[in-house]
């Protein structure tokens, strides 16, 4: 399995499409911060990222605090707000409207897409058609992807993806009306596939002089080292062994890895082990000693120290707080 797929699986990426919007100018659609609505829209997720995909027309996306300029969106664009801040999509930059938290209260028995229309203008030819949803994932103990993405990032889907997403939305709306079996799963998978595609596109478009975990995946020696770490996280890797595997000197490898990833190889390995260990600890009946062994620690005491150092609490406390 490639590193990006492995990370997305281990941080439990999940998705849901909630709204289909047809809007005529002037219009504005506001989304509260995820701190306010996460428990309503994706209560099972540790962290929630809102996203929007423009199926036709154009609009602007903007973080409400005004710290960044509005970003223009066109057909096929997806915008993701990776810090979950309050934001708007609108027909013009700077438009605002009062927040309506009620529309984010999903029915207790389902999470299907809810179509609605914003039609305050008088020019139907300028209608913007888009879908809104949320992506859930783990942010702790360690999710390298979150730190690699900007607060607001926009990417473009392929024409093929736009076509099947548009069709899927049509089907989903029909199934929402008839409450057909499997509709929620279809929507969830669609959101996840869209996110993976735009992350891959964003990664491919990064300039060669950028510093990012995603760019590191593209780099031949560092990308190989990351694949080795993720494919064999319990192996007793050292900087020397990794450097030898990728054909570099110890010093050059350590410097290149730290420059691209933003962390040392051994710290990165330890943090990823803690992510895996946390998932083991959440399973019923798994002891701290068993979790330690699963991620390559022969000494439970050494594991306890490492977990507390990187996670900020003892593994027993993590297990207690995450088992129900």
Instruction: Give how far Cα 176 sits from Cα of 135, 165, 186, 194, 288, Å.
Output: 20, 16, 11, 20, 44
Residues 80 and 50: beta-carbon distance below 8 Å:
yes
Note down pLDDT in tens along the chain; length 324 residues: 799 999 999 999 998 877 888 888 889 999 999 999 888 888 889 999 999 989 889 999 999 998 889 999 999 899 999 999 999 999 999 999 888 887 777 666 555 446 555 655 555 567 898 888 899 999 999 999 998 999 998 988 777 777 777 776 666 666 555 666 666 677 777 788 888 888 988 888 888 887 889 999 999 999 999 999 999 999 999 999 999 999 999 999 999 999 999 999 999 999 999 999 999 999 888 899 999 999 999 999 999 999 999 999 999 999 998 876
Three-state DSSP class for residue 83? coil
Q: Does the model's pTM come out above 0.75?
A: yes
Q: Is the Cβ–Cβ distance between 120 and 17 less than 8 Å?
A: no
Q: Which domains does the chain have, with CATH numbers?
A: 3-205 (2.60.120.10), 214-322 (1.10.10.60)
Q: What number of other Cβ atoms are within 10 A of residue 266's Cβ?
A: 15
DSSP state of 209: T
Contact 173, 115 (CB under 8 A): yes
Q: How many residues does the chain have?
A: 324
Give me the pLDDT at residue 121, please.
Answer: 55
- Given this model, what pLDDT does residue 112 score? 46
The H-assigned helical ranges of 52-127 are none
**Would you say 103 and 36 are in contact if contact means Cβ atoms under 8 Å apart?**
no
**What is the residue-wise DSSP string for 127-146?**
-EEEEEEEEEE--SS--HHH
CB 101 within 8 Å of CB 36? yes
Rounded Cα–Cα distance for residues 13 and 29 (Å): 25
Burial class (CB in 10 A: 0-12, 13-18, 19+), 257: buried
């Amino acid at each position: 399995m490639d590193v990006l797929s492995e990370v997305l699986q281990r941080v439990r990426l999940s998705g849901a499409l909630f709204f289909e919007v047809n809007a005529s100018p002037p219009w504005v659609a506001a989304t509260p911060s995820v701190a306010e609505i996460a428990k309503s829209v994706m209560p099972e997720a540790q962290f929630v990222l809102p996203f929007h995909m423009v199926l036709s027309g154009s609009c602007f996306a903007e973080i409400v605090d005004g710290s960044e300029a509005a970003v223009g969106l066109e057909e096929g664009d997806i915008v993701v707000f990776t810090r979950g801040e309050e934001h708007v999509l609108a027909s013009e930059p700077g438009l605002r409207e009062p927040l309506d938290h009620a529309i984010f209260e999903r029915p207790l028995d389902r999470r299907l897409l809810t179509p609605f229309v914003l039609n305050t203008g008088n020019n139907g030819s300028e209608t913007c058609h888009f879908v809104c949803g949320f992506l859930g994932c783990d942010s702790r103990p360690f999710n390298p992807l979150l730190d690699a993405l900007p607060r607001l990032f926009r990417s473009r889907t392929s024409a093929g993806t736009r076509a099947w997403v548009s069709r899927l939305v049509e089907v989903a709306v029909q199934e929402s009306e008839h409450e057909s079996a499997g509709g929620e799963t279809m929507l969830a998978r669609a959101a996840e596939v869209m996110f993976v595609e735009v992350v891959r596109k964003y990664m491919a478009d990064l300039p060669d002089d950028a510093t990012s975990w995603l760019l590191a995946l593209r780099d031949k020696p560092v990308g190989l080292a990351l694949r080795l770490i993720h494919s064999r996280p319990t192996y007793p890797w050292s900087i020397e062994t990794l450097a030898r595997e990728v054909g570099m000197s110890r010093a050059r490898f350590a410097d290149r890895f730290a420059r691209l990833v933003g962390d040392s190889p051994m710290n990165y390995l330890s943090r990823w082990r803690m992510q895996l260990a946390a998932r083991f600890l959440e399973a019923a009946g798994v002891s701290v000693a068993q979790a330690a062994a699963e991620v390559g620690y022969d000494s439970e005491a050494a594991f306890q120290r490492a977990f507390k150092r990187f996670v900020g609490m003892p593994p027993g406390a993590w297990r207690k707080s995450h088992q129900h």
